[in-house]
Amino acid sequence: MKNIYLCGETDNYEATRIADELEFAKGDPVTFYLNSSGGSVFDALAIAHSLRHYDGELTISVAGLAASSATLILCSGRKVTAAANALFMIHSPKIMLMDNYNARELLDLKETLDKVTETIKTTLASRIKKEFSFEDGDVWFTAQEALEMGLIDEIEELGIMNVMEKKYQASVRHAEIGRIRDLTAMKNENASVNAIIDVAIKRGQSVADVKEYIAALTDIKTVGAAGKIADVITDQMNSGAAGVVGQTALSEEEKKIAFRNKVAEFANGLT
């Protein structure tokens, strides 16, 4: 069972993050916890689309508030539950104007808002069983009223979630998905590179932790790889790069010893 949280506005960042987390869930059962005052209608529809097409069991749980565009997420064709003290609000779309407009441009904006209004009505009507109207302003419901309308399927005895805690959990999970994605993107046809990356993923390491070794191995494809790695490490030691001591030329024997020690240090760090 995996948990995904939306505790904030419906925007492009959240729509992308949620899509990533659903892909990472790989069909496992998911509970999607919602506590949102709304935001972008278009991003809310994108989130609902991602939830609708998730290839696995998924339940939406309204833990505090589902208002404005966030109510559209409830219309994704999934089971929806809500805390007994959750609240819901629907209204017609709004737009903030911060420029100069002529009459024609304002009429164009009105036509656009009318189309968005129809989209909202059609989407909500896919769940709500009773007639509803929001042209006169904001319309609020309790969890019980939302249940009677068909906006939710079940009421849970849950309190309002700790929003900051859930936001933190969601951000940590998103960072982990990004870490794995960035490491995986470094893989190539070099088996040694891929082995290092697999171990780094398991150990919680980042690209920065392994990029030095990946750079040394990326172009090495022959059985003489050990010698080439030795040369790379020796060059680094001779130049004093990355804080490595010893800037004088090394004998062949010293090179072998330095190479063995460096490889052993690296191998021990990955175990």
Give the active site residues: 68, 91
Distance CA 62, CA 7 (A): 10
Q: Do residues 214 and 186 lie in contact, with contact meaning Cβ atoms separated by under 8 Å? A: yes
Distance CA 113, CA 236 (A): 63
19-25 contacts, C-beta under 8 A, 24 or more apart: 19/46, 19/50, 20/174, 20/177, 20/181, 21/173, 21/174, 21/177, 22/50, 22/51, 22/54, 24/177, 25/54, 25/56
Look at the block and give the residue holding tokens 């062949």.
252
Q: Mutual orientation of helices 163-184 and 191-203 as an angle, nearest 10°?
A: 170
- Beta strand 154-156 with 139-142 is unpaired
